[in-house]
Amino acid sequence: MVQGIIGRKLGMGQIFTDKGKAEGVTAIEAGPCVVTQVKTTAKEGYIAAQLGFGEAKRLSSPQRGHLKGLGQFKYLREFRVADSEGIKVGDKVDVSLFKPGDLVDITGVSKGKGFAGVVKRHHFAGGPKTHGQSDRHRAPGAIGSTTSPGRVLKGMRMAGHMGNSRVTARHLEVYEADPARNLLLVKGAAPGAKNGLLVIKKSERK
């Protein structure tokens, strides 16, 4: 059985628990998705189910052939499964897959923040604020390591493009799953902006 679904972030709101506590929730339009391909060890070398979501305005000829008789899907995403038995092309997957209390991992593309300095991007403390240091408040400081190895190492924390990268928020709790409205409410914040594409999977690690 497929343990995930594709969705679209609708936005955030808040709910009140039975104890009167306000909690932030993310509303997601999840599915319905259609199984567009089943991959097997014999043919592709691994077992997975490909799901389709969203309506595309136009498709290329190979895409139309791949999705023949299934619909015009804008997004296709794969989900690894332990066993492909019982999964066939054309099967529908909706939010009834989840129930309140389930823990899920949500993957999306984070909001882009543009070019950011080291203080904002990596939480550097900045330079000294006194003794005539008028231009060092938000500077990164030295980045080299003298003569050995004599270069800037990969992964050095520096100013650069912040955000707009693939992020996974783990172990978010499902508050409500409504198959009638294709609506999934998850406690906490899911990555990405409004209307962003999300991939929701059941958490494997407890």
CATH number of the domain encompassing residue 59: 2.40.30.10
pLDDT at residue number 62? 93
Residues in the chain with pLDDT values less than 50: none
37 in a structural domain: yes
Q: In angstroms, rounded to a whole number, what is the distance separating the alpha carbons of residues 156 and 117?
A: 13
Sign of CA dihedral 149, 152, 157, 158: positive
142 in a structural domain: no
**pTM exceeding the 0.75 threshold for the entire prediction:** yes
Give the structural domain span for 52: 4-113+165-202
pLDDT at residue number 47? 92
Closest among 37, 58, 57, 35 to 46, alpha carbons compared = 37
Q: Could you give the angle at the alpha carbon of 145 between the alpha carbons of 139 and 146, nearest 5°? A: 110
24 in a structural domain: yes
Count of domains forming the chain? 1
pLDDT at residue number 206? 65
**Do 33 and 93 meet the contact criterion of CB atoms below 8 Å apart?**
yes
187 in a structural domain: yes
> Which helix H or strand E contains 121, and what residues bound it?
helix 118-122
pLDDT at residue number 130? 87
* Burial track 182-198 (b if 16+ CB lie within 10 A, e otherwise): bbbbbeeebbbeeeebb
pLDDT at residue number 109? 96
